[in-house]
Structure 1
Amino acid sequence: MALPINIHDLIHGQTVEWERLEFKHGWNPEDVIHSICAFANDIHNWGGGYIIVGVDEQNGQPVLPPHGLQANQLDAIQGKIIQLANQVQPAYYPIVQPYVIDDKHILVLWCPAGDNRPYSAPDSLGKSTSRNYYVRIGSRSLVAKGDYLRQLHELAARIPFDDRVNNQATVDDLDLGTIRSFLQEIKSDLFDESARMPFPDLCKTMHIVRGPVEDCRPVNVGLLFFSKQPDKFFSRCWIELVWHQDGSGRNFKEYYFKGPLHQQLRDTLSFLKTNIIGERVVKHPDRAEADRFVNFPFDAVEEALSNAVYHKSYELGSPIEVQVWPDKIEILSFPGPVPPVNAEILKTQRRIVAREYRNRRIGDFLKELKLTEGRGTGFPTIYNAMKKNGSPAPVFDTDEQSTHVLVTLPAHPLTELVAQSGNQVASQANMFSFKDIEDVMAYANGTTNGATNGATNGATNGATNGATNEVMAILNEQIHERVVEMLTLLINKMKRADLFARMNLTNQTYNREKYLDPLLEAGWVIKEFPEDRTNPNQRYQTTEAGMRLLNLLNQQ
């Protein structure tokens, strides 16, 4: 049975940190049992790890193409792994799956963090042997001694919240379509098998349920990612965004992003990318070259928000709060960092590698979806993105009790200057007049036509509420009433079935003709494979014209 990962990304360390990977040239049972024990103990709450047999290692990196195993070895080795698992105390069984990479057979042992820490293993497989506790230190499995041994005993029976069983939910609270979409997106071999597997077996394979057959229950991370409404089980489990139209604090709009964790993260980022983040241009009278920059670099915003989703506590009934001001974006999450990270470290260090992680499973799913970086790389990504854009450095803050983390991303220093000059242009917006769908299409395509009604081209960024209302009325009457929703969803490429599922529509010809085809004909949405209409991987995305229209419609 395939694992819920992309095997090629795994081997290349693209979704799992190198410390959680161990490569073996061949079958060495003594080394393997020590690593199984160490990953099961998961002293840092990283989520266990993977042992890959048949791939050489050099300086911690895989040597490819793999050395491989003989095909007739695979069954025998898998039988021996069961014997080794019985020698770990308490008994612990990794998930084993053979793969073929570059025409070579390899064996992957997935060793999730165990529920019954601490685990011990024999130091050798001979007759006279003693038992030891093993932990991962760097990329090696070593006997736990001193502080490591003390720390391991402190972790006994302490399971991170995201990996605990939720007795208030049942397997039926998990959504098969969401699970399969995830497997398809990460290109897991389990996607094809999932169409034929009993649903509880699929959930067990993904380690998102636990318990006996007669009372199988979801774990919290399964509900967070694969239930339609996680906030049914976790109080205020959503992202709240407040968009301040000016600096007064009184003129603002509120938005709530709900649903599976990765969906609400992506929807919030799409909203920010569409409505808030944009290129600015400053022209100079003494030279031809203009300064171009964005008010907030998207990479910094994406990483900061992803980190908030990754590291917040879902035991607390506190949403992630995003405050968008003209001169900054603030992202607030609860609680603060896990010790030993404190306020001083948070403010002064540009690279932070925590000793322990609050959510070992949430991080794995986000990394598989390419929504967050590997351990310790988030802070450098934010600092580098801000510096590259010419923006002030980000600010990370917490209090002495570590009750929260507040990330502040200042706007580029020239943003206010551009906004002031833009106000002069905005005064011309009254000259806009949209009479029919041709005017709307002309505006979206960047042509003049009757939509400008004599206004200068520079006025296109200053559309007023009146123009917006005119366009919305035309779209509702001549296209349909869900144009804004669809263009927003399709900022990220999406299959038609997924799009309609998000819109609570059935994936049938009638809905395609009514909702999707008009946007394709208008040029506001494009197919990823326009020449291959029946491509099974066909996805749709909002075009530049669609984005221009969406920006107009979001001006309130």
Structure 2
Amino acid sequence: MSIDNLDTVKQLIAGKECGRVEFKETTGQLERGMETLCAFLNGEGGTVLFGVTDKGKIIGQEVSDKTRRDIAEAINRLEPVAMVQISYAPLPDSEKKVIAFHVENSKLNRPFSYKGRPYMRVESATTTMPQTAYNDLLLQRDGNRYRWELLENRNLTLQDLDANEVLKTVRLGIECGRLPEDTGTDVPVILEKFGLQKNGVLNNAAAVLFGKHEDMEYPQCLLRLARFKGTDKTVFMDSQRIQGNFFQLLNAAMAFIFKHLSLSGTTDTLEREEHLTIPYKAIREGVVNSLTHRSYKEAGGSVGIAIYDDRVEIENPGTFPPNWDAEKMKSEHESKPQNPLLANALYKRKVLESWGRGIGLMMSECRKAGLPEPEYRIWSDSVTLIFKCEVTNRPSTDQVPTKHRPSTDQVFALVKILDERELSVKEIMEALELNHRPTFRTNYLHPALDEGYVIPLYPEQPSHPKQKYRLTEKGLELLKQQ
């Protein structure tokens, strides 16, 4: 792009300073100009104009041999070597000129640095690039071989993985038609097919998906959960930290959300339907996306879910693909998972949809429920998804008399599953689509037992091999009240 005349300069100025154009009065600001040029190289390209004020007034500057030498030396400090087009647009009836530095999109060579430091553009401001963003660009440049999920862990063995969870993934994948009937039940073979094991060595993705994390060193497989009083972080009402594999964290997240978001009921059909304050499909999609597409590289990173009186925030480490903004996310877009191995296994299990439909689903579900569309706040090294709603301090079901009202919606869900049946723990968990036994016992079974809605068939032998659970009279009365 040649910028050797004032007409071209004026066209650039008409757009004012933005993500791809910067004004500097003179090359006395050469250092700041070069930092911005470096940021343009790490973005989609752009132009730095010297001889233009912040308000877009063309004043030009004198160009001496020293000016040209300083420019050449500054450009040589860019790493790797960059193609910078330098143009001089003369002012009429003057010795002064507007100096233009222009760079095209150079994404195949990113990240760039100036004097050993990388820069990036945030709206119309230039800032130092965080280490995580720099590493992400390195990974994009150097291909897939350095992706964290692909890295081998020779200390990881099959005994460290939950084989039942692997087989459940296969069963659900076959049921939904995303895996062939002959996938088999040989766990090592399945892991090889999913790309989670190569030549007998497991990788990080296998640990995230199926690991038994009690004895494993994956501190980033952490979920932080909090319910705050009011609209800030001053007062905690509830706080939990859960360590586990993907499915354990997903179960724990949804259990916590059910615990603290109110339920309402409708009877438009023959059966009563329960609805969360935020539509279930929308909030679950937000949690799934945060766990799937987050950055796992940093050991100190974790997903956090914070519930306030007026909103729910889901925060995860990592960023969207380069050049994505809020408008692109709302429109139809391609799917570019940060962790393709994780995304592939979750797609096979029908936990995750492909083709970039998740964000659109969240928007649609919230609109149908009369709620504002969820918002994304994109920071330099993290993303926060915000659902705005009114959250009450204690979930309730208005149709149930106070003396029979269960303490949590998980208890009521368990009561509905049992109805007039006798079921084992495994059968109840499958019906509730849960697979993390400690979460089930803590949030469902134990409260239901304590409140007298459920009773075991063998109360004197809690670990009886044929142990099952049924509703008490109080539990049956609760169902009748519905």
- The normalised TM-score by structure 1 is 0.46
* Identity, % of aligned positions: 14
User: 1:14-413 alignment to 2 at 5 Å?
Assistant: 154-156=141-143, 158-187=145-174, 188=179, 193-194=184-185, 197=186, 200-211=188-199, 216-229=200-213, 232-247=216-231, 249-279=234-264, 294-316=276-298, 317-341=300-324, 345-346=325-326, 349-351=329-331, 353=333, 356-399=336-379, 401=380, 403-411=381-389
Alignment-mate amino acid for residue 326 of structure 1: D
Q: Cα 1:462–1:219, aligned 2, differ >3 Å: closer, same or farther? A: closer
Using the alignment, how far apart are the partners of 2:383 and 2:481 within structure 1? 33
- Which amino acid is 1:174 matched to? L
What is the rounded CA distance, in whole Å, between the counterparts of 1:404 and 1:153 in structure 2?
18
Distance in 1 between residues matched to 2:470 and 2:398, nearest whole Å: 12
Structure 1 residues 208 and 153, CA, compared in 2 at 3 Å: closer, same or farther?
closer
Q: Please give the secondary structure, in 1, of the residue aligned with 2:468.
A: helix
- Give the aligned residue type for 1:256: R
Contact in 2 for aligned 1:229/1:258 (Cα 8 Å): yes
**How much is the aligned-residue C-alpha RMSD, in angstroms?**
4.8
Deviation at 1:346, TM superposition (A): 2.3
CA drift of 1:164 comes to: 2.5
Whole-angstrom distance in 1 between the partners of 2:297 and 2:140: 24
1:492 aligns with 2:479: no
| Structure 2 counterpart SS, 1:338 | coil
> CA, structure 1 residues 266+226, in 2 after alignment: closer, same or farther (shift >3 Å)?
same
| CA distance in structure 1 between the partners assigned to 2:304 and 2:215 by the alignment | 15
Which residue number corresponds to residue 42 of structure 2?
none
The offset of 1:178, in angstroms, is 2.3
Aligned mates of 2:216, 2:481 — CA distance in 1: 34
SS of 1:232 mapped into structure 2: coil
Q: What does residue range 468-479 of structure 1 map to in structure 2 within 5 Å?
A: none
Contact 2:221-2:302 at 8 Å conserved across structures? yes
Partner amino acid, structure 1, of 2:191: C
What's the secondary structure of 1:158's corresponding residue?
helix
Q: Contact between 1:243 and 1:254, CA under 8 Å: does it hold in 2?
A: yes
Q: Can you list the C-alpha shifts for 1:352-394, whole angstroms capped at 9, x where unaligned? A: 6357431001111222222222232111111111111011221
| Partner residue in 1 for 2:469 | 518
User: Over residues 227-284 of structure 1, what are the superposed CA-to-partner deviations in whole Å (9 max), with x where a residue is unaligned?
Assistant: 2118823223121110124446314211233322022112311331344241179xxx
- Secondary structure (helix, strand or coil) at the match of 2:195 reads coil
Deviation at 1:502, TM superposition (A): 7.8
Q: How many residues align?
A: 307
Q: Please state whether the residue corresponding to 1:207 is helix, strand or coil.
A: coil
Matches of 2:225 and 2:236, distance apart in 1: 14
The whole-number CA distance in structure 2 between the counterparts of 1:381 and 1:408 is 15
Structure 2: 5+ residue stretches without partners: 1-104, 111-138, 267-273, 412-422, 443-457
Give the Cα–Cα distance (whole angstroms) in 2 for the partners of residues 293 and 166 of structure 1: 43
The normalised TM-score by structure 2 is: 0.52
Asked whether the 8 Å contact 2:227–2:237 carries over to 1, the reply is yes
Contact 2:194 2:341 in 1 (8 A): no
Larger radius of gyration: 2
Cα separation, 2, equivalents of 1:184 and 1:224: 19
CA distance in 1, matches of 2:340, 2:155: 21
- Indicate conservation of the 8 Å contact 2:220/2:296, yes or no: no
- Contact residue 346 and residue 396 of structure 1 kept, 8 A: yes
Asked whether the 8 Å contact 2:318–2:383 carries over to 1, the reply is: yes
Distance 2:475 2:465 in 1: 15
Could you say what secondary structure the match of 1:375 adopts?
coil
Give 1:454's aligned residue.
none
Superimposed CA distance per residue, residues 54-100 of structure 1 (whole angstroms, 9 cap, x where no aligned partner): xxxxxxxxxxxxxxxxxxxxxxxxxxxxxxxxxxxxxxxxxxxxxxx
Q: Measure the CA separation in 1 of the matches of 2:378 and 2:246.
A: 24
Unpaired runs of 5+ residues, structure 1, are 1-145, 282-291, 427-442, 447-456, 469-482, 526-542, 549-556
- Which amino acid in structure 1 is aligned with residue 224 of structure 2? E
- Distance in 2 between the 1:324 and 1:494 partners? 22
Instruction: Give me the whole-angstrom Cα distance separating, in 2, the residues matched to 1:153 and 1:327.
Output: 38
